Amino acid sequence: MNNSLPWPTEAEVLPLASVRPVLDRLASLVNTHDEDAETILGLAVTEEEVAADPPPALEQIGDELGGIRVRGLTMLTLQIEDRTDVGPYTLLGAATSFYPLYETPEAAVVLALDEDGTPGAVYGIGEDLALQLAAEDLPSYLERFAVALEATLAELAARGPAAEDSASERDEAAEQLMDEHLFAEILGMSEDSDATDVPLQDPAASGISGLPADALAVADLRTAPVGSRVDLIEVEVPGDPLETHVVWSERGRVIAVLGG
């Protein structure tokens, strides 16, 4: 495995057995709808040179699955190659504190990583840079993704064979369907969203132990339901909120805001 980033190594590796059923489901969907979907091979089985640098805790899963493409568009990846701190990542911390699972220039879905590298919750980040809890953990997100993928592929199949369809229209339909069944809700693009807002609070009054000494604010999502939202731009801190960044703890369910 390529480990060019200084990943923490204390975290336990997520066992492949914990996601075996959903990986089998994804493989079955791709095999059934191979006109519209394809698997990105895992690091252990691909013959291509891959520059991806996933965290050590994802080694077993990443060795088997690299991601899923629908009509050539990457809808799930465990092999992100280029890391950046702009766009949807503006308020996130070090590259070793999260791992992208899906990204566009304006939005992303990321797996939160605690300081020791332990994978935690999955969050969607929309254009407003708010964090929305998409799943409690990676296995749960893969299950949610599989449900959306199945619905999308079924609706594409209902259009008829790909060879008899307009390629550009089918590509556009695939993107719209994945948005409809998954991304619109978790990236804050849905007009019908009823997400619960979790407030940022004074760390001293939060009752949460183990926070960074320089934390300016904290959001506690340990008991928050999936779909809960934290508006990072609304934090009341000295200076520009865009110069702050977050760190995770409690498996990504506690979000501390630090100064730039």
CATH of the domain at 20: 3.40.1580
Same domain, 127 and 211: no
Tokens of 59: 């080694």
Q: Is the pLDDT of residue 11 over 90?
A: yes
* Structural domain count, the chain: 2
Domain limits for position 209: 203-258
Q: Is the pLDDT of residue 2 over 50?
A: no
The helix/strand/coil state of 211 is coil
Same domain, 171 and 245: no
Same domain, 178 and 238: no
Same domain, 159 and 243: no
Same domain, 28 and 138: yes
Same domain, 166 and 44: yes
In a domain, 155, yes or no: yes
The pLDDT > 90 percentage for the chain reads 82
Domain boundary among the residues 126, 154, 186 is at: 186
Q: Quote the CA–CA distance of 144 and 215 in Å, as a whole number.
A: 32
Chain centroid to CA 57: 15
Judge whether 58 and 181 are in contact, CB under 8 Å. Answer: no
CA distances from 214 to 90, 219, 256, 259 (A): 19, 15, 9, 8
pTM for this predicted structure: 0.94
Task: State the average pLDDT over residues 124-152.
Answer: 97
Same domain, 48 and 94: yes
Q: Is the pLDDT of residue 52 over 70?
A: yes
In a domain, 46, yes or no: yes
Mean pLDDT over the full length of the chain: 93
Structure confidence by residue, pLDDT tens digits, 94-137 = 999 999 999 999 999 999 999 999 999 999 999 999 999 999 99
Same domain, 114 and 28: yes
Same domain, 180 and 249: no
Identify the H or E element spanning 149: helix 138-157
Same domain, 24 and 58: yes
As a residue count, the chain comes to 260
